[in-house]
Structure 1
Amino acid sequence: MTTTSDTRAAGAPAPPSGLMERNTIGPIPASERTGSARGLFGIWLGVNMLPLTVVTGALGTTVFALPAGWAMLAIVIGNLVGGVFMALHASQGPQLGVPQMIQARAQFGTKGALLVVLVATVLFVGFFISNLVVGAQSLQGVFPAVDTKAAIIGAAVLSMIITVFGLRVIKVVITVSAIVIGLLVLVSLGWIFVSGMPGGSLSAGHFTVTGFVSMIAVGAVWQVAYAPYVSDYSRYLPANSGARPAFWATYGGSVLSALVVMALGCLVGAVAQDGNVAGGLTTLTGKFATVTLLGFAVVSGLSNAGNVYSATLNTLTLIETFRSGWIPALRGRLVTTTVVHVLGALVALVATDGFITSFTNFITTLLYVLIPWSAINLVDYFVVRKGHYDVGAFFRPDGGRYGTWNVPALVVYVVGLAVQVPFAVLSFYVGPIARAIGGIDLAWLVGLAVSGGLFLLVTRRSRTAEEAV
């Protein structure tokens, strides 16, 4: 294995870094496992403090036309359930000490994992682009004279400044942002409670099973969408004591923040005209909405650093797939971070309203693609191998005991994709079974159950055959 100024052996201690993170996709040395559950809770509390979360919460009372109470109940159920699957991935970080998608090599092989890593990379970049556009629109809602393109560039630069330092600074910035936006959201909710909702707005709409279950799916998939991130943030926690705290810190922070911000969105959606969330917020909180929207606009740029951080780790993982054993250090991370920011900003600059709608559909499709990976990964980690992995094999050219291609796991993955198709509900496609049951989105649930169960069955049969020989 070659070592240069930008390459070091997997697991070798990084030079003293100060604020600048030098670790990338290699295992975090035990001497640097100084992370805490408190810090992890802070970053996940801040991850959902975004205008996009408000818009998502508003779907219950706008798109699905549910009464506010039913919409909120669906939001609670969806986030509580989806958060469990997401946070279980977080407990893997302290044990293995590597980014989340590196772990996919244990299930699919070093080359077989390429597809899911690529999908996750595109997903992270997609979130980055979406937040750039939504943040710029929020800022324009406060200051109509602001040029959207200038706002996008400014947000990208702000994200870049934070991301170059690495995870430690990202955690601090997002945690502080969580406190600021959290206070603004709580004040907004308090304002609404004291002032009251316009007459009849809370009971407007009507309960439907389709709308209710669909909103549960929105909340659940919102949480599951974070699954490819979580070990990226928890891998600095101590191996011997970090798994359980990582789960609860991640679950508590992400679910709590999502529920509070989506609740605001739900109420705003109940009075929004033509789905205009910013206008609905102004209707409910008056001039204070200006402060809230401004806060959201700024935090969109700050929190986006987390999306680019994970996109960078995944891009480096993709490159390492073809340069086995290459562990990039600071320079590799900085170059990749810069490229991701520039490409993402360029796409955001040419985006139109129609493009964003199509792009959102594309991102939603990618979430379906990641569902089977999540199920396979969790079953492999908690049921099959019970957390025992040869981390060094993740970086060997031949994949060590995991090989380069795990064909049975890949077949299960493809089956997991296929079974979701009849249940899928997208703006451009509704599966036949979903149509027959009134447009209820059960694809994510079916994908998790079939992929996880089939992988367990295939793995157990394979091990039984090996023991018989």
Structure 2
Amino acid sequence: MQDAETTLTVEKRTIDHIPVTERHGKARDLFTIWFGSNIMLLTVATGVVATAVYGLPVWAAVIALVVGHGLGGVVMALHAAQGPQMGVPQMLQTRAQFGSYGSLLVVVLVILMYVGFFASNMVLGGQAVSSLFGLDETTSIILIGLVSVVGAIVGYRMIHALTGLMSLVSGLVMALAFVWILLVNDLPSGVLHSDGATLAGFMGTVSLAALWQIAYAPYVSDYTRYMPRDTGVRPAFWATYAGAVLGSLFPMILGALVGAALPESDTVSGLQELTHGVGGLVIAVFGIGIACTNAMNLYCGALSTITVGQTLFPSWVPGAVARAVVSVFLFLGAVVMALAGKDDFLVNFTNFMLLLLCVLVPWTAVNLVDYYLLKHGEYDIDSLFERDGGRYGRFNPIAVGCYFLGILVQIPFLVTTKYTGPIGERLEYVDISWIVGLAVICPLYLFLMKRFSRFSGHRPVLEGASRAGIA
């Protein structure tokens, strides 16, 4: 009873530092939150892209998904390991690299990302509710969003509890879906054909899978910041990596089967048809999974929005009410986006993901190099809450310059339906933009900060300053 009461208690904290006395949880909790939150319809829809949009045979799609998740998961899990050490949200920590005002650009882009994922999830969740209960699709989209708002308002413990439960329920239903598709219902003839693989389609799928993981990087620490400092870097890394990679890989393989069997169907109706006999259960559970994941998106979007507000108005002390109000406004913005893009969902979502990768890659490069190679996890926490940035200053021109350069170097390599760069065309539409971004910015930021750190705006650490170091 006490556990239930604790889970339903509204979280009081927002972006403030979590004291050691309030830390709780174990590394295994990180596995369940990322495993449970990834088993949902949007993950399945992303796997559909591999076969229905990129035209890969199932075997090639599976290999591409394994490679993409394997690589992207490393980047994502390295960010997760920062949370127990620092005890602050990921976007607040960005002030340590970019400066208090320099970080605002990245934070605003990340807020748009949260709203975009929230909207995408609402479209699929709305289709599921409409399919199961015969409700109007617009009404269904709004209902799915409202359920997620409740989770974001209650906060951290409720989200962990829900995803922990869904980790078990969704995992069992996903296994049931595979059994039904492969062993009970016969796949249409020719679905497991071996021809049609292209390098462009393979790399496009690798990029989508890698981005799926990297897109979690800006908020993965939001779900580890309450963990005890002695959780350790390695346990936090591996629990997060295993949960996120396994929880997203298998639903995407499921989606690849749907896309190969029924390329003209939408994700919900296609999955329901292939799992005929248990389709209602599969759609219902994966739809509930959407509500849980959207609660995470909205929660972190609210924290990032509050980070912007607290930067501009440092005397503001935001609490649970502020998180609730911000969550409602973000929800309303996502509803508009969802209703506007629902009719051409797969194409819009694919372009959104690939463009998102372009703006996230340079940020993750700067953050990881700074944390692991330059600061070795030691930061002045008090400075993160000062308007002038404390020892990190208002603006780090090296970090900001590397960020913009990281976007620019990727543009010639981009391959989307809206824009393809000149080098992307010469590479026969093989998208390696994110690889180029990481390869250029990681060593460049490391070199510039070591060589010209006096121009970064950072000041020496004051004696007695509070820090967060690697345990």
TM-score under structure 1 length normalisation: 0.91
Please give the alpha-carbon distance, in whole angstroms, between the structure 2 residues aligned to 1:181 and 1:76: 20
Other-structure match for 2:314: 324
Please give the alpha-carbon distance, in whole angstroms, between the structure 1 residues aligned to 2:450 and 2:264: 53
Please give the alpha-carbon distance, in whole angstroms, between the structure 2 residues aligned to 1:381 and 1:269: 40
Alignment of 1:31-180 (within 5 A): 31-143=21-133, 145-180=134-169
Q: How big is the shift at 1:129?
A: 1.2
Q: Secondary structure at the match of 1:170?
A: helix
Q: Pick one of 391, 394, 405 that aligns with 1:404.
A: 394
- Tell me: CA distance 1:67–1:364, structure 2 relative to 1, closer, same or farther (3 Å): closer
Please give the alpha-carbon distance, in whole angstroms, between the structure 2 residues aligned to 1:127 and 1:425: 21
Please give the alpha-carbon distance, in whole angstroms, between the structure 2 residues aligned to 1:29 and 1:326: 20
Structure 1: 5+ residue stretches without partners: 1-15
Q: Secondary structure at the match of 2:378?
A: coil
Q: Which moved more, 1:382-391 or 1:347-356?
A: 347-356
Q: How big is the shift at 1:282?
A: 3.9
Contact 2:362 2:407 in 1 (8 A): yes
Over the aligned positions, Cα root-mean-square deviation in angstroms equals 2.1
Please give the alpha-carbon distance, in whole angstroms, between the structure 2 residues aligned to 1:215 and 1:400: 42
Contact 1:62 1:275 in 2 (8 A): no
- Tell me: CA distance 1:393–1:334, structure 2 relative to 1, closer, same or farther (3 Å): same
Contact 2:83 2:224 in 1 (8 A): yes
Q: Pick one of 406, 414, 418 that aligns with 1:428.
A: 418
Structure 2: 5+ residue stretches without partners: 1-5, 457-471
Q: How big is the shift at 1:339?
A: 2.2
Other-structure match for 2:281: 291
- CA distances 1:236-258 after superposition (whole Å, capped 9, x unpaired): 11123343222112111110111
Please give the alpha-carbon distance, in whole angstroms, between the structure 1 residues aligned to 2:327 and 2:147: 13
Q: How big is the shift at 1:349?
A: 4.3
Other-structure match for 1:457: 447
Q: How big is the shift at 1:93?
A: 0.6
**Is 1:382 matched up with 2:372?**
yes
Q: How big is the shift at 1:194?
A: 1.6
- Tell me: CA distance 1:184–1:18, structure 2 relative to 1, closer, same or farther (3 Å): closer
Please give the alpha-carbon distance, in whole angstroms, between the structure 2 residues aligned to 1:18 and 1:189: 34
**Is 1:191 matched up with 2:180?**
yes
Q: Which moved more, 1:109-118 or 1:216-225?
A: 216-225
Aligned letter for 1:180? V
Q: Pick one of 193, 206, 223 that aligns with 2:213.
A: 223
Alignment of 1:330-349 (within 5 A): 330-349=320-339
Contact 2:8 2:154 in 1 (8 A): no
Please give the alpha-carbon distance, in whole angstroms, between the structure 1 residues aligned to 2:336 and 2:256: 32
- Tell me: CA distance 1:17–1:76, structure 2 relative to 1, closer, same or farther (3 Å): closer
- CA distances 1:176-198 after superposition (whole Å, capped 9, x unpaired): 12322221111011122323533
Q: Secondary structure at the match of 1:65?
A: coil
- Tell me: CA distance 1:220–1:325, structure 2 relative to 1, closer, same or farther (3 Å): same
Q: Secondary structure at the match of 2:52?
A: coil
Aligned letter for 2:182? F
Q: How big is the shift at 1:347?
A: 3.9
- Tell me: CA distance 1:313–1:408, structure 2 relative to 1, closer, same or farther (3 Å): same
- CA distances 1:377-435 after superposition (whole Å, capped 9, x unpaired): 00000001110110110111221111001112111111111000001111100111111
Please give the alpha-carbon distance, in whole angstroms, between the structure 2 residues aligned to 1:218 and 1:317: 28
Please give the alpha-carbon distance, in whole angstroms, between the structure 2 residues aligned to 1:286 and 1:454: 53
Please give the alpha-carbon distance, in whole angstroms, between the structure 2 residues aligned to 1:59 and 1:355: 11
Please give the alpha-carbon distance, in whole angstroms, between the structure 2 residues aligned to 1:240 and 1:299: 31
Q: Secondary structure at the match of 1:59?
A: helix
Q: Secondary structure at the match of 2:135?
A: coil
Other-structure match for 1:394: 384
Aligned letter for 2:238? W
Q: How big is the shift at 1:19?
A: 2.0
Give the aligned length: 450
